[in-house]
């Protein structure tokens, strides 16, 4: 069993400390990631860490999202991320093994995140494990 800390927020300003939001994130089976404008992971949900067999949030904090995927998928991920920064919602399927090498298939959704004045400041990447479906 992978052990995770209660606080999986890497950048304390990246995700609001709202208890409802955190409760929803903790109860989602999906791997929810907030990517900054450079594509670096600033947040990964607790269940996402477990789904990816990542023992500690420090193992992914600040890393480029596409670097967590196999080399042959990276161009697609970079393109999807750029589309998200441009305001588009993107959906695609991809194969990415966990940190322990367990093969998994993912349904990935990219959504732009706007600040209070409507400027896109980050991208939400939500991956659902669809292995065997």
> What b-and-e string marks burial along 64-99, b requiring 16 or more CB atoms within 10 Å of the CB?
bbbebbeeebeebbeebbeebbeeeebeeebebeee
Which has more confidence, 4 or 102? 102
Task: Read off the DSSP letter of residue 82.
Answer: H
How far apart (Å, rounded) are the C-alpha atoms in residues 66 and 76?
Answer: 9
Q: How confident is the model at residue 108 (pLDDT cuts 50, 70, 90)?
A: very high
* Sign for the pseudo-dihedral over CA of 80, 81, 87, 89: positive
pLDDT for res 32 = 94
The model's pLDDT over 17-60, given as tens digits with 9 standing for 90+, comes to 567 777 777 788 899 999 999 999 999 998 999 999 999 989 99
Residue 3 has pLDDT above 50, yes or no: no
Give the pLDDT mean for 2-14. 41
Q: Give every CB contact of residue 101 below 8 A, 6+ residues apart in sequence.
A: none
Model pLDDT, residue 39:
97
pTM of the model: 0.82
Assess contact for 85 and 34: CB atoms under 8 A.
no
The domains of the chain, with CATH numbers, are 19-129 (3.30.450.20)
pLDDT surpassing 80 at residue 64: yes
What average pLDDT does the structure give for the chain?
86
């Amino acid at each position: 069993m992978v052990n995770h800390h209660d606080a999986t927020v890497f950048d304390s300003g990246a995700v609001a400390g709202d208890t409802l939001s955190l409760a929803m994130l903790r109860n989602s089976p999906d791997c929810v990631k907030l990517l900054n404008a450079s594509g670096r992971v600033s947040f990964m949900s607790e269940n996402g860490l477990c789904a990816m067999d990542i023992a500690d949030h420090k193992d992914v904090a600040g890393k480029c999202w596409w670097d967590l995927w196999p080399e042959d998928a990276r161009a697609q991920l970079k393109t999807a991320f750029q589309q998200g920064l441009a305001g588009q919602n993107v959906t695609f399927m991809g194969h990415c093994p966990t940190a322990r090498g367990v093969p998994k298939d993912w349904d990935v959704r990219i959504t732009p995140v706007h600040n209070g004045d409507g400027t896109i400041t980050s991208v939400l990447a939500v991956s659902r494990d669809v292995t065997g479906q």
